[in-house]
A and B are shown apart, each in its own frame.
Chain A
Amino acid sequence: MAIKSIQHNQHTFDISYEIVNPDAKVDLIVLHGWGSNKNLMKQTFSPYMDAFRHIYIDLPGFGNSTCSGALNTADVARIVELFMIHINASKDIIVGHSFGGKVALLLDPKVLVLVASAGIYTPKPLKVKAKIAIFKIFKFFGFSKLRSLFVADDAKKLNEHMYQTFKNVVNEDFADEFSKYNGKALLCWGDKDTATPLSSAKMIDSLIKDSVLEVYNGDHYFFMKNAQDVSKKIEATFLKTLEH
């Protein structure tokens, strides 16, 4: 593991990262999802794809990276971009899971690998809308302490900056950004995903010009059990970019 300090909007972010296959010439940047960290991604993908220099990054506020201000996805992408400049990494292949998928998209790599990516807005179910409305009434009457009963699992235990960041990123819709992406995209999805449903994958597939959708048996974390196959697909997708 290693740490690099990045300056962004007058704040310092210590970004923790790890490099595997340091001498390989093609860069593979791997970004984890919300609430996760680089170790999960490293455990999954480091045994494969030896021809690439793997760069595993803890996004600001996760794992061993710090976050000293509320961010939106574009800020996170900018921080990752600045970090990449520091370590002299190129945007050959960027893999993003869930929230990391949105960050990967904004980085505009040559090969974009979206693994159960977020970015398509799905309206909140009535249950969630009701929870928010009820809590707002409670808050009005001074019962803010009951917050933990209402807050999403992903947002519990978050500090103030990260909670604000969570609220900033959770409702973003990146349909426009997906349609503007001009590189090669590989979409890998679990058919039983409830966090980022397969319908989002189909939507993204239709928005991106040059994309392939691979559907696996599994949930939001299907890739952990299918790492070898996903890795092969990533290699094949990259090889296609070398054909003319």
Chain B
Amino acid sequence: MKLTILFGGASFEHEISIVSAITLKEKLSGFDLNFIFCDNDHTFYLIDSSKMKATTFSKGEHKKMPQLTLKNGAFAQKGMFASKEYNDVVLNLIHGGDGEDGTVAALLDFFSIKYIGPRVDASTFSYDKRYTKWLCEAKDVKSVKYEILRANEHKNITIPFPMIIKPASLGSSIGVSIVKDESQLDYALDCAFEYDANVIVEPFLKGVKEYNLAGYMADDKIHFSIVEEPQKEEFLDFEKKYMDFSRSEQVLKADISEELVLRLKTTFERVYRGMFEGALIRCDFFVVNNEVYLNEINPIPGSMANYLFEDFKSSIEALSSSLPDSKGVKVTYDYIHSISSAKGK
């Protein structure tokens, strides 16, 4: 199968995206893959598959590789006489800004390029955790109670310690802290506000169980991964999560009842349908007192959560053949014609 992996981006998670892409190169061996790197100045480079190593990018060697531009239906490499086109399905693997905030989705839609990844509306509701909370309310899905803080605005937090502080719009635990008492609060807020002007405060729930479930829609059916219970001390910090991305062995299935699995799947489906079609997403859930809460939605999970799927290659194939059609608009000029003829011209 042919597939173009788009990665990098002007994002705090730029480097994670590189690691993700390298992992997928291995996980999708046998596919006919192209790698397109979006540099943080938004230049696209076609990366030679044999050069897909982290140091290629850290040393800036990619800058010597062919640059690509977008045209209708494809990425194009301009040659002396003719241009070469790359019009395969694109897998949007840019984590964080650009990739998950809707920018890349809009760009690919605009140029009528087929892609695996969240559409613009799905990106909006999953990228900013404030909007995820609103989505939960609208879809009748439980989420942990929260408060919003804005930079340069004085507001008292009513949630008691310990609490968790996170930038509204970042994944991978960047800028996230657990605050146990007043003395740690100021630094935690400074850390979160470095990344976003909006910060979410939630109570830090003790004894909470965490479960991750990934899935995608193909042939009008949701296909689920296994349910994973992530191993964590208190919570995954950036480094742990980073390591997490590159892990390749299959994780163990969470040891939970069929009934709970079913409830997780039902909640997943309620979130997914009508919004995330075209994307393989991972929902992270909390279970407290036998209640399921949605913690966050990863519309482009690290390495596409490949380790959760028994047959990852077939999953990607099935998804890429069930991508939503973008409704092309036909401009017929009927209206103008009718006016013109009415005027007798």
- Show the binding face of A for B, using Cβ within 8 Å: 1-5, 16-17, 19, 22, 64, 87-88
Contacts and interface: CB of A to CB of B under 8 A. Distances in A.
Most chain B CB atoms below 10 A, which of A3, A19, A88: A3
B187 interface: yes
B140 interface: no
Please give me the 5 A-B residue pairs with the lowest Cβ-Cβ distance, nearest first: A2-B190, A3-B194, A2-B191, A4-B190, A2-B194
Nearest to B152: A5
Contacts of A22: 184, 187
Contacts of A4: 190
21 contacts: A1-B191, A1-B194, A2-B187, A2-B190, A2-B191, A2-B193, A2-B194, A3-B190, A3-B193, A3-B194, A4-B190, A5-B152, A16-B194, A17-B190, A19-B187, A22-B184, A22-B187, A64-B194, A87-B186, A87-B187, A88-B186
Contacts of B193: 2-3
A22 B191 CA distance: 13
Contacts of A19: 187
A25 to B, nearest CB: 12
Nearest to A4: B190
B161 to A, nearest CB: 15
Given A1-B191, A4-B190, A17-B190, 13 more contacts: A1-B194, A2-B187, A2-B191, A2-B194, A3-B193, A3-B194, A5-B152, A16-B194, A19-B187, A22-B187, A64-B194, A87-B187, A88-B186
A64 B184 CA distance: 22
B135 to A, nearest CB: 29
Interface residues of B, number: 8
B24 to A, nearest CB: 29
Interface string B34-65: 00000000000000000000000000000000
Contacts of B194: 1-3, 16, 64
Nearest to B174: A1
A54 B193 CA distance: 21
Contacts of A17: 190
A84 B141 CA distance: 44
Contacts of A3: 190, 193-194
A92 to B, nearest CB: 17
B185 to A, nearest CB: 11
Contacts of A2: 187, 190-191, 193-194
Nearest to B188: A2
A1 B175 CA distance: 8
A2 B194 CA distance: 5
A171 to B, nearest CB: 34
A22 B182 CA distance: 13
A179 B191 CA distance: 39
A88 B185 CA distance: 13
A3 B199 CA distance: 14
Contacts of A5: 152
Nearest to B192: A2
B177 to A, nearest CB: 9
Interface in B181-236: 184, 186-187, 190-191, 193-194
A140 B263 CA distance: 79
A14 to B, nearest CB: 9
B256 to A, nearest CB: 36
Contacts of B186: 87-88
Nearest to B177: A2
Contacts of A88: 186
Contacts of A87: 186-187
A171 B266 CA distance: 70
Nearest to A16: B194
A57 to B, nearest CB: 12
